[in-house]
Amino acid sequence: GKLQALAGEAPASIEPVVADLALVRQVRALVCALAARGERIDVLLNNVGVLLDDYTLTVEGREASLATNLLNHYLLTEDLLTRDLLARDGVVINMSSGGMYNVPLMVEALRMPAQAYNGVLAYGLHKRAQVVLTDWWRDRHRERGVRFYAMHPGWSDTEGVRTSLPRFRRLLRCVLRDEAQGADTA
Give catalytic residues, as residue numbers: 123
- Cα separation, 140 vs 117, whole angstroms: 32
Residue type, 143: E
DSSP helix/strand/coil, 113: coil
CB under 8 Å to 178, separation ≥6 — which residues? Answer: 156, 157
Give 127-165 as a DSSP string: HHHHHHHHHHHHHHTGGGT-EEEEE---SB--HHHHHH-
